[in-house]
Amino acid sequence: MSSLPQKAESCPPALPPQGEVVRAPVFSASGPFAAILDVLKHGERFLVCSHVRPDGDSLGSMLALGMVIQQMGKHADLVSANRIPLQYRHLPGSDSIRTASHIQGAYDAAVILECDSIKRTHLQGLSDLFLVNVDHHLTGRPFAHLNWIDYEAASVGEMVYRLAQAAGARITPEIAECLYTTVLTDTGGFCYGNVRASTFAMAREMVEAGADPTAIAHAIYFSSPISKLLLLGTALRRLKREGRVAWLWVTHQDMQRTCSTEEDCEGIVNVALSMAQVDAVVFLSELSDGRVRMSLRSKGDFDVAAIAQRLGGGGHQNAAGCTLQGAIPQALKEVLTELRGAIAEWNPGPAHRSRLK
């Protein structure tokens, strides 16, 4: 798709007829937010999707936006390339998310949440639709017909909340539970650098609307299957540290031995990040096809998104990832080279410097 034009159009976007392919970017003089709201108001049938291996932010945002669209008297199909991880199956409406690899049917628009490209969804058929891109990652890119990227948002759920408010939607307890989940998970339990006063304000508003923070936290953080704990034990036995950097990994054979799935890898990197005097961690997991997936986490203002982007991935300043071809030793060598160089050049902010003393 084309990137942003130098000058926005002076009129709001017009929806394409169903089935017609629109390839030129469409913008509104009042910005992408108003243009997207206009699309939702004038359309009737929408597809809502997000990235492969959905997490709390993507799933909560999909579900919340789907319910908002339904409140507007419209139809929304929610589609994911992967099944919903166990810890998020309690979310209201989670059984309405269809698992598929190919999109079929006529839609007025497809809303793609927190992706930097169509490829990130692992869904075929999206290129034939009018695309709306809503993202908050530092590595976000304007690949769609309409692009709303807010690097300051703590979660994409925060952006969905703003759309809901502007559309006049009622924040039901079900919507509130989904949106609270987005902000809880994408801030690492309110631990990452993207947390602001507005983050807690939104969390408070969701609780006031009916979200149960204790029940949500228990479902997400205290419902791990034994396979995940066995895999965690395997990873921790391999834990290495070098100065302010740490790393750990599991092989595909480890996952078979512990009867684990890819979703069981989620959160392992955060355990290593809990170490004192460590500011950056990478967790590597070997996939069944021989590729290596890496999850990077950091503290303070150390930017792992930039490292992930150089390796072909992306994400947030404190939480990012990428996937590399080749075996774990080679992938580890590449990422450690990047991490060592970045740590050596890192100039921590004042608050972080005081903690390092």
pLDDT at 17: 39
pLDDT at 27: 37
pLDDT at 349: 67
**What confidence tens digit (pLDDT) does each residue in 278-329 have?**
999 999 999 999 999 999 999 989 999 999 999 999 888 999 999 999 999 9
Vertex 105: Cα angle to 100 and 106 (nearest 5): 135
Task: Give the sheet arrangement for strand 97-99, strand by strand.
Answer: 97-99, 75-80, 45-49, 109-113, 131-135, 146-149
Q: Is the pLDDT of residue 213 over 70?
A: yes
Q: Is the pLDDT of residue 354 over 50?
A: no
For the chain, what percent of residues have pLDDT higher than 90? 80
What pLDDT band is residue 12 in, cutting at 50, 70 and 90? very low
CA–CA dist 83, 58 (Å, integer): 13
Vertex 49: Cα angle to 43 and 54 (nearest 5): 160
**Overall average pLDDT of the 266-280 stretch:** 95
Which stretches within the chain are classed as H helix? 32-42, 56-71, 156-167, 173-186, 197-208, 213-221, 226-237, 252-257, 268-273, 304-310, 328-345, 350-356
**What confidence tens digit (pLDDT) does each residue in 59-83 have?**
999 999 999 999 999 999 999 999 9
What pLDDT band is residue 351 in, cutting at 50, 70 and 90? low
CA–CA dist 44, 75 (Å, integer): 6
Pairing between β-strand 319-324 and β-strand 292-298 as defined by DSSP bridges: antiparallel
**What confidence tens digit (pLDDT) does each residue in 143-196 have?**
999 999 999 999 999 999 999 999 999 999 999 999 999 999 999 899 887 889
The amino acid sitting at 10 is: S
Residue 18 and residue 106 in contact, taking contact as beta carbons nearer than 8 Å: yes
Angle between helices 156-167 and 173-186 (to 10 degrees): 150
**What confidence tens digit (pLDDT) does each residue in 18-49 have?**
333 333 334 333 578 999 999 999 999 999 99
Paired strand residues for 45: 75
Task: Return the DSSP state at 311.
Answer: T
Q: What is the DSSP string of 36-84?
A: HHHHHHH-SEEEEE--SS--HHHHHHHHHHHHHHHHTT-EEEEEESSPP
- Token readout for 345 is 């050049």
Q: Is the pLDDT of residue 14 over 60?
A: no
Q: Is the pLDDT of residue 119 over 70?
A: yes
Tally of CB atoms within 10 A around 336 = 15
Sorted by where each starts, the structural domains of the chain and their CATH numbers stand as 32-220 (3.90.1640.10), 227-356 (3.10.310.30)
pLDDT at 285: 97
Residue for token pair 């169903």: 18
**Overall average pLDDT of the 242-271 stretch:** 95
Q: Is the pLDDT of residue 9 over 50?
A: no
